[in-house]
Amino acid sequence: MHADTAAYNSHLAPEDRAICEILAREIDHHLPEAENKIWHRHPVWFLAGNPIVGYHKLKDCVRLLFWSGRSFNEPGLKKEGKFQAAEVRYGRAAQVDTEQLATWLRKAREIQWDYKNIVKRRGVLERLK
């Protein structure tokens, strides 16, 4: 786990920290080639400079966000925002289904929208691969 992500997790309440440590471990395991850094104050993983997955603490849960998640066509993910993002929220570590998460992470590698160049394209999002 990247030191900045570990530091982020360390400031959380015990249950939220447990959720985030599971998420970070699974993301690192299934996307070992991804760059992990704190982006907009939250842990995010990137492939070729493109944001793929990240999480952050909300008031009553931890939100896991997949930037291209709407295109996964997978149960358990809910639309987020106006582009292609989808999310899942966890209130307890026991809610994290690591098998389902592995499927989402595999799809996150295979199905990507080009958020890296969205500003250059003036808000137009194009699918990669």
| Helix 3-10 and helix 14-30, axial crossing angle in degrees, nearest 10 | 160
Question: Residue 63: helix, strand or coil by DSSP?
Answer: strand
Instruction: Judge contact between 115 and 125, C-beta under 8 A.
Output: yes
Asked: is 3-128 a CATH 3.90.1150.200 domain? The reply is yes
Domain borders along the chain are 3-128
Model pTM? Answer: 0.92
Each of the 129 residues of the chain gets a pLDDT tens digit; together they read 899 999 999 999 999 999 999 999 999 999 999 999 999 999 999 999 999 999 999 999 999 999 999 999 999 999 998 889 999 999 999 999 999 999 999 999 999 877 777 777 777 767 886
